[in-house]
Amino acid sequence: GISPFGVWRNADKDPRGSNTKAGQTNYDDLYADILLWLEKGWIDYVAPQLYWEIGHNLADYNTLIEWWSKNTFGKNCYIGLGIYRAGSNSAWRETTQIPRQIEKLRSTPNINGMIFFSSKTFDKNPNGWNDSLRLNYFKEPALLPGIK
Protein backbone atom coordinates (compact mmCIF):
# COMPACT_ATOMS: atom_id res chain seq x y z
CA GLY A 1 0.00 0.00 0.00
CA ILE A 2 0.83 3.66 -0.10
CA SER A 3 0.19 6.86 1.83
CA PRO A 4 -0.59 9.46 -0.83
CA PHE A 5 -1.35 13.16 -0.62
CA GLY A 6 -4.96 13.54 0.53
CA VAL A 7 -6.47 14.89 -2.71
CA TRP A 8 -6.56 12.65 -5.77
CA ARG A 9 -8.07 15.33 -8.03
CA ASN A 10 -10.32 18.36 -7.62
CA ALA A 11 -13.85 17.99 -9.04
CA ASP A 12 -13.39 21.06 -11.27
CA LYS A 13 -10.78 19.04 -13.21
CA ASP A 14 -12.52 15.65 -13.11
CA PRO A 15 -16.10 14.77 -12.10
CA ARG A 16 -14.69 11.80 -10.13
CA GLY A 17 -12.60 14.19 -8.02
CA SER A 18 -13.38 15.58 -4.59
CA ASN A 19 -15.23 18.83 -3.96
CA THR A 20 -11.98 20.55 -3.01
CA LYS A 21 -9.74 23.28 -4.36
CA ALA A 22 -6.36 21.86 -3.36
CA GLY A 23 -3.34 23.57 -4.87
CA GLN A 24 -1.69 20.19 -5.41
CA THR A 25 -3.21 16.84 -6.34
CA ASN A 26 -1.93 13.31 -6.80
CA TYR A 27 -3.05 12.99 -10.39
CA ASP A 28 -2.20 16.42 -11.84
CA ASP A 29 0.93 17.34 -9.91
CA LEU A 30 2.42 14.18 -8.43
CA TYR A 31 1.57 11.97 -11.44
CA ALA A 32 0.08 9.28 -9.22
CA ASP A 33 -3.25 7.80 -10.33
CA ILE A 34 -4.21 6.31 -6.98
CA LEU A 35 -7.71 5.40 -8.18
CA LEU A 36 -6.31 3.36 -11.06
CA TRP A 37 -3.92 1.57 -8.72
CA LEU A 38 -6.76 0.70 -6.32
CA GLU A 39 -9.13 -0.33 -9.11
CA LYS A 40 -6.54 -2.60 -10.73
CA GLY A 41 -5.55 -4.13 -7.38
CA TRP A 42 -1.95 -2.97 -7.73
CA ILE A 43 -2.01 -1.83 -4.09
CA ASP A 44 -3.76 -3.59 -1.21
CA TYR A 45 -4.41 -0.54 0.99
CA VAL A 46 -4.34 3.23 0.85
CA ALA A 47 -3.60 5.66 3.69
CA PRO A 48 -4.41 9.16 2.40
CA GLN A 49 -2.77 12.00 4.30
CA LEU A 50 -5.78 14.03 5.45
CA TYR A 51 -3.82 16.61 7.37
CA TRP A 52 -6.42 19.39 7.01
CA GLU A 53 -8.85 20.40 9.71
CA ILE A 54 -12.60 19.98 9.71
CA GLY A 55 -13.97 23.00 7.87
CA HIS A 56 -10.82 23.88 5.90
CA ASN A 57 -11.97 26.13 3.04
CA LEU A 58 -9.92 24.41 0.31
CA ALA A 59 -9.65 20.81 1.51
CA ASP A 60 -12.17 20.01 4.23
CA TYR A 61 -11.41 16.88 6.25
CA ASN A 62 -15.06 15.73 6.25
CA THR A 63 -15.39 16.20 2.49
CA LEU A 64 -12.22 14.21 1.85
CA ILE A 65 -12.96 11.33 4.19
CA GLU A 66 -16.37 10.88 2.53
CA TRP A 67 -14.73 10.97 -0.90
CA TRP A 68 -12.08 8.38 0.03
CA SER A 69 -14.72 6.10 1.58
CA LYS A 70 -16.47 5.96 -1.80
CA ASN A 71 -13.26 5.29 -3.73
CA THR A 72 -11.54 2.38 -1.98
CA PHE A 73 -12.43 -0.22 -4.62
CA GLY A 74 -12.78 -2.76 -1.82
CA LYS A 75 -9.28 -2.18 -0.46
CA ASN A 76 -8.50 -1.18 3.13
CA CYS A 77 -8.34 2.56 3.76
CA TYR A 78 -6.54 4.03 6.76
CA ILE A 79 -6.73 7.79 7.27
CA GLY A 80 -3.57 9.73 8.04
CA LEU A 81 -4.28 12.30 10.77
CA GLY A 82 -2.00 15.33 11.06
CA ILE A 83 -1.44 15.69 14.79
CA TYR A 84 1.83 17.48 14.01
CA ARG A 85 -0.39 20.47 13.10
CA ALA A 86 -1.41 20.96 16.76
CA GLY A 87 -1.30 24.64 17.63
CA SER A 88 -0.53 25.78 14.06
CA ASN A 89 -3.76 27.80 13.71
CA SER A 90 -7.00 28.37 15.62
CA ALA A 91 -8.61 25.16 14.32
CA TRP A 92 -5.61 23.12 15.45
CA ARG A 93 -5.67 24.74 18.89
CA GLU A 94 -9.15 23.28 19.48
CA THR A 95 -9.01 20.39 21.93
CA THR A 96 -11.80 18.68 19.97
CA GLN A 97 -10.17 18.71 16.50
CA ILE A 98 -8.56 15.24 16.58
CA PRO A 99 -11.37 13.65 18.64
CA ARG A 100 -13.93 14.90 16.07
CA GLN A 101 -11.80 13.57 13.23
CA ILE A 102 -11.62 10.16 14.93
CA GLU A 103 -15.38 10.12 15.51
CA LYS A 104 -15.96 10.96 11.84
CA LEU A 105 -13.64 8.26 10.52
CA ARG A 106 -15.04 5.62 12.87
CA SER A 107 -18.57 6.37 11.64
CA THR A 108 -17.66 6.43 7.93
CA PRO A 109 -18.11 3.24 5.88
CA ASN A 110 -15.05 1.66 4.23
CA ILE A 111 -12.59 3.42 6.54
CA ASN A 112 -10.58 0.80 8.43
CA GLY A 113 -8.49 2.84 10.84
CA MET A 114 -6.05 5.69 11.27
CA ILE A 115 -2.38 6.55 11.29
CA PHE A 116 -1.02 9.49 13.29
CA PHE A 117 1.66 11.71 11.77
CA SER A 118 3.93 12.27 13.39
CA SER A 119 3.76 10.07 16.45
CA LYS A 120 6.64 12.02 18.03
CA THR A 121 4.14 14.86 18.45
CA PHE A 122 2.53 12.82 21.24
CA ASP A 123 5.69 13.42 23.31
CA LYS A 124 4.40 16.98 23.84
CA ASN A 125 0.79 15.92 24.70
CA PRO A 126 -0.62 18.50 22.27
CA ASN A 127 -3.96 20.00 23.35
CA GLY A 128 -4.16 17.30 26.03
CA TRP A 129 -4.90 14.76 23.30
CA ASN A 130 -2.88 11.96 24.89
CA ASP A 131 -5.25 11.71 27.83
CA SER A 132 -8.36 12.30 25.74
CA LEU A 133 -7.43 9.57 23.26
CA ARG A 134 -6.38 7.07 25.93
CA LEU A 135 -9.48 7.62 28.08
CA ASN A 136 -12.08 7.97 25.33
CA TYR A 137 -10.93 6.35 22.09
CA PHE A 138 -8.23 3.77 22.79
CA LYS A 139 -9.29 2.08 26.03
CA GLU A 140 -8.47 -1.39 24.70
CA PRO A 141 -5.55 -2.68 22.61
CA ALA A 142 -6.25 -2.56 18.89
CA LEU A 143 -6.64 -5.69 16.81
CA LEU A 144 -4.80 -5.64 13.51
CA PRO A 145 -7.21 -5.84 10.58
CA GLY A 146 -6.74 -8.37 7.82
CA ILE A 147 -5.68 -7.10 4.42
CA LYS A 148 -8.32 -7.52 1.71
Please give the pLDDT value at position 148: 63
What is the pLDDT confidence band of residue 122, given thresholds at 50, 70 and 90? very high
User: What average pLDDT does this structure show over 96-109?
Assistant: 98
Q: Is residue 126 part of a domain?
A: yes
Strands 113-116 and 45-46: unpaired
Please give the pLDDT value at position 78: 97
Q: Is residue 11 part of a domain?
A: no
> By residue range, what is the domain housing residue 60?
26-136
Number of domains making up the chain:
1
Q: Is residue 147 part of a domain?
A: no
Q: Is residue 79 part of a domain?
A: yes
Q: Is residue 33 part of a domain?
A: yes
What is the pLDDT confidence band of residue 144, given thresholds at 50, 70 and 90? confident
**DSSP structure string for 120-144:** GGGGG-GGGHHHHHHHHT-SSPPPP
Q: Is residue 117 part of a domain?
A: yes
Taking a C-beta distance cutoff of 8 angstroms, is the pair 43, 6 a contact? no
